[in-house]
Structure 1
Amino acid sequence: MNLVSVNWLKNELSNPNLIILDASPLSNKANLTAEFLGEKIKGARIFDSEKVFVDTESNIPNMFPSEEKFTKECQQLGINKNSIIVVYDNLGIYLSPRVWWMFKTMGHTNVAVLDGGLSAYKNAGLPCASYKQEENLLKGNFEADFNIENIKDSNFVLENIASKKEVVIDARGNGRFTGKLPEPRVNMQSGHIPNAINLPFSNVLDNGKMKPKSQLKSIFNELDLANNNLVFSCGSGVTACIILLASDLVLDNKKSLYDGSWVEWGAGTKFPVEKES
Structure 2
Amino acid sequence: MKDPIVSVAWLQKNIQDPELIILDTFIDMPSEDHQIKGARTFDIKNNFSDTNNPLPNTIPDPEAFATACRALGINNNSKIVVYDTKGIYSSPRAWWLFKVMGHEKVWVLDGGLPEWLNEGHPTEKREPQSYSIGNFTANFQPQLVKTKEQILENIDAKEALLVDARSTDRFHGETEEPRVGLRSGHIPGSINIPFTQLLKDGKYLPKEELKKILQPQDKPLLFTCGSGVTACIDLIAYELISDNPKAIYDGSWTEWGQDLNLPFEK
- TM category (shorter chain) comes to over 0.9
Cα shift readout 1:11-50 (whole Å, capped 9, x = no counterpart) = 01110000000003327xxxxxx7x711111110000110
Letter in 1 for 2:125: S
State the percentage of identical aligned residues: 48
> What is aligned with 1:175?
169
Q: Deviation of residue 268 (structure 1)?
A: 3.9
> What is aligned with 2:92?
97
Q: Which moved more, 1:179-188 or 1:234-243?
A: 179-188
8 Å contact kept, 1:24–1:91: no
Match of 1:259 among 239, 250, 253: 250
Q: What is the TM-score normalised by the length of structure 1?
A: 0.93
In structure 1, C-alpha distance between the alignment counterparts of 2:256 and 2:10, rounded to whole Å = 39
* Corresponding position: 1:118 with 2:113: yes
Aligned residue for 1:231, secondary structure, equals strand
In structure 2, C-alpha distance between the alignment counterparts of 1:232 and 1:25, rounded to whole Å = 19
> What is aligned with 1:3?
5
| Structure 2 counterparts to residues 1-277 of structure 1, below 5 A | 1=1, 2-26=4-28, 37-133=32-128, 135-221=129-215, 226-275=217-266
Q: Deviation of residue 256 (structure 1)?
A: 0.2
Q: Deviation of residue 184 (structure 1)?
A: 1.0
4+ residue stretches of structure 1 with deviation over 2 A? none
Aligned residue for 1:256, secondary structure, equals strand
Mark the runs of 5 or more structure 1 residues left unpaired by the alignment: 28-33
In structure 1, C-alpha distance between the alignment counterparts of 2:130 and 2:32, rounded to whole Å = 24
Q: Which moved more, 1:238-247 or 1:122-131?
A: 122-131
> What is aligned with 1:30?
none
Q: Deviation of residue 162 (structure 1)?
A: 1.1
Letter in 1 for 2:161: V
Mark the runs of 5 or more structure 2 residues left unpaired by the alignment: none
Q: What is the TM-score normalised by the length of structure 2?
A: 0.97
The number of residue pairs the alignment matches comes to 264
8 Å contact kept, 2:45–2:51: no
Kindly report the root-mean-square deviation, in angstroms, between the aligned alpha carbons of the 2 structures: 1.2
In structure 2, C-alpha distance between the alignment counterparts of 1:226 and 1:125, rounded to whole Å = 39
Aligned residue for 2:32, secondary structure, equals coil
Letter in 1 for 2:120: G
